[in-house]
Amino acid sequence: MIPDKDKEELRVRSIRNGSVIDHITAGNALNVLRILGITGTTTAIVSVVMNVPSKRLAFGQKDIVKIEDRELVPAEVDKIALIAPQATINIIRDYEVVQKKSVVLPDLITHVVRCPNLNCISNSAEPIYSKFRVLDSFVLRCGYCESIIDSDIATYLI
């Protein structure tokens, strides 16, 4: 018989060095990877866990992403707050959690979401990055045309 604790380890083992993004709103692990620019061609060792039990999160489920040998910096992780406001970022060194941080929603989000207005200059061939002011945790306003995104932010991720 495998003890319960070890069964958890079989599902997703501890990492030696890198970053663990924990408490991701269930269903958003792939969106987190997208925001971090991690695609199918990555050479990093990445573990993705979806819909595991969580006492803390709504509906009792969460996603987890573990990226080995890469320490995420605040500017990149804070974008995660857009879709997973309760996420915590753990930096791991030699198996120890040396830093644990909540994500903080930035005032300005650049080059992460696409403007819903097809006529917006940020959607043209111009070399312009999309830019959104964060009005509220889930309300964004385009810095060019003032279009508002107030639902389904994940569907506008670049």
Residues of this chain that interact with ligand CTP (CB under 6 A) are: 14-15, 20, 22, 64, 66, 88, 90, 92, 95, 97, 100
61 contact choice in Zn ion, ligand CTP, none (CB below 5 to 8 Å, kind-dependent): none
| Residue among 51 and 124 whose Cβ is closer to ligand CTP | 51
Q: With binding defined as CB under 5 A, does residue 128 bind Zn ion?
A: no
Question: What is the Cα–Cα distance from 86 to 107, expressed in whole angstroms?
Answer: 17
Distances from the Cα of 107 to the Cαs of 57, 93, 143, in angstroms?
A: 25, 30, 12
Least Cβ distance, residue 57 to Zn ion (angstroms): 32
48 binds Zn ion (CB under 5 A): no
Among 30, 52, 145, 157, the residue binding Zn ion under the rule CB under 5 A is 145
Residue 140 contacts residue 149 (beta carbons within 8 Å) = yes
Burial of 2 (0-12, 13-18, 19+ CB in 10 A): exposed
Please choose which of Zn ion, ligand CTP, none residue 88 contacts, taking the beta carbon within 5 to 8 angstroms, the exact cut-off set by kind: ligand CTP
Q: Which among Zn ion, ligand CTP, none contacts residue 81 (Cβ within 5 to 8 A by kind)?
A: none
Burial 109-134 (b: 16+ CB within 10 A, else e): beebbbbbeeebebbeeeeeebbbeb
Q: With contact defined as beta carbons under 8 Å apart, do 46 and 65 qualify?
A: yes
Distance in Å, CB of 71 to ligand CTP, minimum:
13
Edge-first strand listing for the sheet containing 61-68: 46-53, 61-68, 18-25, 88-93, 96-102
- The site partner of 32 among Zn ion, ligand CTP, none (C-beta below 5 to 8 Å per kind) is none
- Of 36, 83, 89, 120, the one binding Zn ion (CB under 5 A) is 120
Return residues touching Zn ion (CB under 5 A).
115, 117, 120, 142, 144-145, 147
